[in-house]
Structure 1
Amino acid sequence: MQIGYECPTCSAPVHLVDIETLTVLACPQCGTALEVPENGFVGDSSRHLARCLACPSHDLFVRKDFPQRLGVGIVVVGLLGSCVAWGMRELVATFAILFVTALIDLILYLLVPDCLACYRCGARYRGAGADGFAPFDLETHERHRQQVARVQELATRPPAGD
């Protein structure tokens, strides 16, 4: 299994492979070491991820291992192309462009593998051992987002009593 996360100290991207055998996740830029928690994996022969190894969160979700911006870009290009064809009164071309865009989306959906992502720190886990997690849940995401916002607000607020 592979992990990709942002170093909490220097914000450099960290990519490590064979994390099942590691006891420490080390940043190659600054050397910050994150200890792999003992309860990070479950199972003896085939080790499955049980929680995020880069932060204390147990909330992970399954997503496609594909850049969202590229996916949105493909849809936008298809939409713009169909609008141009529609404006030129090319009905067949309009629907052909929309059909091809949908076909590209379907092919990518079928070919691109899944990965796990952490709601809290955004770490991504690729490879086997990612079974047993649910897809994205907006309520869980919002809970983590609100928690980060509250911590930032408390950090910028002046101390009480001044």
Structure 2
Amino acid sequence: MGSVTGSFSYECDDCGVFKIYSVENSPVIHCSSCNKKLGTIPKHWSLNKSCPFCQCKSYYKRKDFNQIIGITIIIVGAILSIIYNYFILMGFAFLDILMYYIVPDVAVCYKCSAELRGFDGMDSLEVFDHHKAELYHYSQDGK
């Protein structure tokens, strides 16, 4: 098993800056805005270990796709479907299927919503579970 080569996306609790952090160079992650220490990535970190930011051990997978772009595509499709009827709906359905197979998955921590990319074992994760998310949201320590 080699060293960690993936990346993490995390929003700093202090200043609110959201950034993607590559962990190839340094095992310690600091906020690029306020320099707060966010977490430490062990040399052989994997998805079966605790989240480096909040120590939670549960992750889910989702598509790594910008949600604002997704909503924009839906709105454009809805407007165009008024003019072009069903042909545009079939086109957008085809686009959706195509993007499902092209866009990679990202692992997301249930407790702190950190996004983890490029790690082995992504296929073994389950999709988002509302019940599990509520358990982490309302629990005291979330572990």
Q: TM-score range by the shorter chain?
A: 0.7 to 0.9
Aligned to 2:3: none
Runs of 4+ in structure 1 over 4 Å off: 37-40
> Normalising by the residue count of structure 1, what TM-score does the alignment of the two structures yield?
0.70
Counterpart residue number, 2:50: 51
Q: Counterparts of 2:23 and 2:126 in 1: how far apart (Å)?
A: 23
Does 1:134 find its partner at 2:126? yes
Residue of structure 1 aligned with 2:105, choices 114, 132, 138: 114
Aligned residues, how many? 133
- TM-score where L is the length of structure 2: 0.79
The structure with the largest helix share of the pair is: 1
What residue is the counterpart of 1:6 in the other structure? 11
- Alignment partner of 1:23 is 2:27: yes
Shift in Å, 1:121 = 1.3
Unaligned 5+ segments in structure 2 are 1-5
Any stretches of 5+ residues in structure 1 without a counterpart? Answer: 42-47, 86-92, 149-162
Residue in 2 that maps onto 1:34? 38
CA root-mean-square deviation: 2.4
Maintained 8 Å contact 1:6/1:13:
yes
Q: Which has the larger radius of gyration?
A: 1
Instruction: Please list the CA deviations of residues 107-154 of structure 1 after superposition, one character each: whole Å capped at 9, or x if unmatched.
Output: 111111111111211111111324332111111122233348xxxxxx
Aligned partner letter, 2:16 = S
Q: Give me the identity figure in percent.
A: 29
